[in-house]
Chain A
Amino acid sequence: MRPAFFGKNAAQAGAFLLLLLAVPYALPNEYYLSICILGCLSAVIAVGLNLLMGYAGQISLGHAAFYGMAAYATAIATTRFSLPIPVGMALGVALSVAVAWVVAAPTLKLKGHYLAMATLGFGIIVSIVFNEAVDLTGGPSGYVGIPRLALAGYAFDTDRSYYNLMAVVLSLVVLSSLNLMRSRTGRALRALHVSEKAAASLGVDIAAHKRFVFVLSAGLAGLAGVLYAHYLSFIAPASFGFGFSVQLVVMVVLGGMASVWGSVAGAFFLTALPEALREFEDIDILVYGAILVLTIMFLPDGLAGGLKRLARRLGRRGEGA
C-alpha cells in the first residue's frame, strides 16, 4: 500500500469544487441548475453508499430509508415544533445515524443475498411507515411547508446560492471519503471486503468496522435528506421508496465500484438521464432501461473503469506515435 497522499486528494477535490462552481455559467437556464442540485444530493448519498458497497463489500438495498427519515425528521422538527433549521437538520442526521447504529448489528451479520434481502426489507418497512403514518408524515400526499434553508442569517433562497452550497458540501464529502479510504480505517475496510477471516487475523475488528461504515454511509444519506427537504420545501414518500434505493445502487455500480469519482459520475448521469429523455414521452422508460443494460454490458467496471481504460488506450497510442 502506498503512503497516503492527502495533499493530492485536497488538490483533486479543490479542482472539482472549482469545476462545480463554474458549471452554472455554462447552463442555459435555471431549470438545469435544479437538476444539478439534485445531482449533487444524489452524489452525496452515492459516495457514502460506495464506501459501504464498493470498498467494504456490504450491499444495502434500503438506503433511501435513511435519506427519507432525515428529511421527515427535519421537516417535522422545523414546522410542527418550530425548532431552528440547524437544530432540525442535526436531529435529522442524528436520527439516521442512530437508526443505522441499531440496525447495523443484526443486519451486518448477514451475507450476500440475505444481507440484500434484510436491507431491502428494512427500506420497504420504513417507506410503508412514511405512507401510512399520516398524522406524522402527511401520508402519500406528502409534507408541505418546510422552510427553505437559512444558516447564520444567510438565506439560501435562490437555486444559485443553494447550488453553491451543495457544491461545497459535495466537495467536502468527496475529500473526506478519499482521505478515509487512504487511512488505516479505509485499508481495514478494503481488507474485510476481500476476506473477513484474513482481515480478522490481522487484528481488524470486523463487526466494529462494518458498523462504522454502515453508520457513516447512513449519516451521509441523512445529510442529503435534510438538505433535500430544505431545498424543495416539500417531501413525499414516493421519493424515498425501494425504487430510489435501487437507483442509488445502480449509481454506484454504473459509476464503478470502489471509485469515489465514479459514484459522483454515476449519480449525475442517472439524475440527468431521465430529464434528457423527457422529450421521448412514454418511451423514455424503455430508453432508460436499455441504456442501463447496455452500459453494464459494455462497461462492466463502470464509467470510471471505462474512462480509465480509454485513457490507457489513448496513452498507449500516444507513446506509439
Chain B
Amino acid sequence: MLSGAPQYLVSGLTQGAAYGLIGLGFTMIFNTTGIINFAQGEFVMLGGMLAVWFAASGLPLVVAVLCACLATAVVGALMERLAIRPLAGAPAINAVIITIGVSILLRGGAMLAFGKDTVALPAFTGTAPILALGAAIQPQSLWVLAVTLALLAALKLFFAATIQGKAMLACACQQKAASLVGISVARMALLSFGLSGLIGAAAGAILAPITMTAYDVGMMLGLKGFAACILGGLGNPFGAAAGGLVLGVLEAFGAGYVASGYKDAFAFVVLLLLLFVKPSGLFGQAGVERV
C-alpha cells in the first residue's frame, strides 16, 4: 500500500518548494503594502516563459534563468510604480482588483509575445534519475529544493543583516512608525514588488523543466502559493515556505493514493479544514482585533 510513498514524498516536496517560493512572494508584498497580489502567479509564469525565450535565443541556461528573474523583477517594480502607487488611500479591495487586472494584462501580453503553446525548459543538469530510498529522484528536483533553500537563506540574511531588509520589516510591523523614523514606505513597496517578481520568477524557472509551462499556468500556481501562505499563517515568510511544502506533499499523496483527477482539490480541502479549526493558519498568531 505504501509502496509509492518515497516517490510521492519527493515529488511532493519538489512541487511544494515551488509553492512555498510563490507564497513567499505573496508574503513580501502583503507585509509592506497589505495587498494580496493576484498577479503573483503571473510572475511565476513570466519566469518560466522568459527563461525559455532567453534560452531559445541562444543564452546559456544559467544566464537565461537569471535574465528571466531580473526582467520579472523589473515587471514587478513597474507594476508597483504604475498601477499600485497611484492608488494610495483607496480601499484594499480596489488594489486587489487592480492586481487582477494586471494579471490579465500580463497573461494576455505573454500570449501575444510567446504564443499559446506549452513549452519546456531543459533540465539544468541532465535527466538521469538518481535512485535513493526506493525513489527515482530527478536531478531537477534537487535543483528546486536547493534554489528554494538558497533563496530562503538569502532572504533571512537580507532581513537580519541589511538596512533595507530591516526597513522592510519595520514597514511590515507598523507603516506609520516606519515612516516616522525616516523609512520611505513607497520605496519599500517598490522593493517588495521587485523582490516578489524575482522570487516568483525563480520559482517559475526552476519548475519549468519538470512541469513545462505556458502563458496560462499562472492562475493555478498563484492560487496554490496563496494557499501556502494562508496555510503557514499570512505575513510569516518562513511559514509560507513550510505551508508550501505541506501543501505539495498532501497533494502528491492525495493524487497517488486517492484519485489523481482530484489532485488540485486535496490541498484546498485540507486548507479549509485547517482554517475552520485554526483560523490563523499553522504558524500565524491570532490577531488582536481593534474595536
Contact = CB atoms under 8 A, between A and B. Distances in A.
**Most chain B Cβ neighbours within 10 Å, of A114, A242, A283:** A114
B36 A288 contact: no
Contacts of B291: 195, 197-198
A293 B101 contact: yes
B272 A118 contact: yes
A283 B110 CA distance: 11
Contacts of A131: 261
B172 to A, nearest CB: 15
Interface in A72-122: 106-107, 109-111, 113-114, 116-118, 120-122
Nearest to B30: A113
Given A128-B264, A253-B93, A296-B94, A282 B100 contact: no
Contacts of A289: 101-105, 107-108
Contacts, number: 118
A249 interface: yes
Contacts of A216: none
A285 B36 CA distance: 22
A129 to B, nearest CB: 7
Contacts of B219: 242-243
Contacts of A4: none
A132 B262 contact: yes
Interface in B20-61: 30, 36
A59 B90 CA distance: 17
**Most chain A Cβ neighbours within 10 Å, of B30, B90, B101:** B101
B224 to A, nearest CB: 10
Contact of A286 (B86, B109, B230): B109
Interface residues of A, number: 43
Contact of B104 (A116, A285, A300): A285
B98 interface: yes
A250 B97 contact: yes
A297 interface: yes
Contacts of B280: 114
A117 B275 contact: yes
Contacts of B86: 297
Contacts of B262: 128, 132
Interface string B258-284: 010110110011011001100111000
A250 B96 CA distance: 10
Contacts of A250: 97, 100
B101 A121 contact: no
B279 A124 contact: no
Given A113-B230, A132-B262, 16 more contacts: A114-B280, A117-B230, A118-B272, A120-B226, A121-B268, A129-B265, A250-B100, A253-B93, A253-B97, A285-B107, A285-B108, A286-B105, A289-B102, A293-B83, A293-B105, A296-B90
Interface of B: 30, 36, 83, 86-87, 90-91, 93-94, 97-98, 100-105, 107-109, 111-112, 219, 223, 226-227, 230, 234, 259, 261-262, 264-265, 268-269, 271-272, 275-276, 279-281, 289, 291
Interface of A: 59, 106-107, 109-111, 113-114, 116-118, 120-122, 124-125, 128-129, 131-132, 195, 197-198, 242-243, 246, 249-250, 253-254, 257, 282-283, 285-286, 288-290, 292-293, 296-297, 300
